[in-house]
Amino acid sequence: MTELQQRLFELQDLKYRDFHSRLMPGVDKDKIIGIRTPVLKKVAKEYMKEPGWAQFLKELPHKYYEEDNLHMILIGSIRDYDTCMAELKNMLPYIDNWATCDFPTPRIFEDHKEDVLKEIDSFLASNHTYTVRYGIGLLMRLFLDDDFRPEYPEKVAAVHSDEYYINMMIAWYFATALAKQWEAVVPYIEEHRLDDWVHRKTIQKAVESYRITDEQKAYLKTFR
């Protein structure tokens, strides 16, 4: 066991591990140490003061789920865009669960949105489930407000997959888009442009959203 792994196991919460493992049925329970995210963020903050943290990013694949999450937190703290994107692209093929995939977008991406856009198409075209999911997540988190363009939901709607975690992210994207860009996005529901399962799940998630009006929810229900 490495020194870092020993430090992580000192923070182990077995009850939390048991609870969290039920949320990720496809992940081997033995891979999960059991550390809450706020605690892991404190570890990352301390670890970045040490000279070995950059080398840790090169040591792929990691053995434990929390190491993967620590990796994503560290990537998110990198302040140089090119370095950050390069490290992210190195990490994406090793992600094997939705929770690691859905870590917050690196802060530096907010200042380099046009550069991020150049990468998204390749993410969406990947054969790796969580690379595709991450790409959709970028469009959802960075490009549904002032930087929104009508071609972005077209990119997401063009993704067709049998993978549950991709389809759930597509539904999440469109439910969020309905809340933020109703006029541009509601035709995807009205014209049934999404795959059947995604169509129904989008409506379900939108109806559950507090950001969508009661009138809008009633209208969406007519397309179930």
Q: What is the largest CA-CA distance in the chain?
A: 58
Residue 171: the pLDDT is 98
Distance CA 157, CA 160 (A): 8
If you write DSSP's letter for every residue of 17-70 in order, what string do you get? HHHHHHT-TTS-GGG-----HHHHHHHHHHHTTSTTHHHHTTS-S-SSHHHHHH
Q: Identify the CA nearest to 35 among candidates 1, 3, 5.
A: 5
Helix (H, G, I), strand (E, B) or coil at 210: coil
Residue 1: the pLDDT is 83
pLDDT tens profile 2-20: 999 999 999 999 999 999 9
pLDDT tens profile 171-209: 999 999 999 999 999 999 999 999 999 999 999 999 999
pLDDT-based confidence at 76, cuts 50/70/90? very high
pLDDT tens profile 19-61: 999 999 889 999 999 999 999 999 999 999 988 889 999 999 9
- The pTM for the full model equals 0.95
Distance CA 196, CA 200 (A): 6
Distance CA 91, CA 97 (A): 13
Backbone angles phi, psi at 101, to 5 degrees: -60, -35
Amino acid sitting at position 138? L
Distance CA 29, CA 20 (A): 9
Helix (H, G, I), strand (E, B) or coil at 42: helix
pLDDT tens profile 99-139: 999 999 999 999 999 999 999 999 999 999 999 999 999 99
pLDDT tens profile 153-179: 999 999 999 999 999 999 999 999 999
Averaged over 212-224, what is the pLDDT?
97
Residue 51: the pLDDT is 86
Q: Identify the CA nearest to 182 among candidates 212, 207, 157.
A: 212
Residue 29: the pLDDT is 94
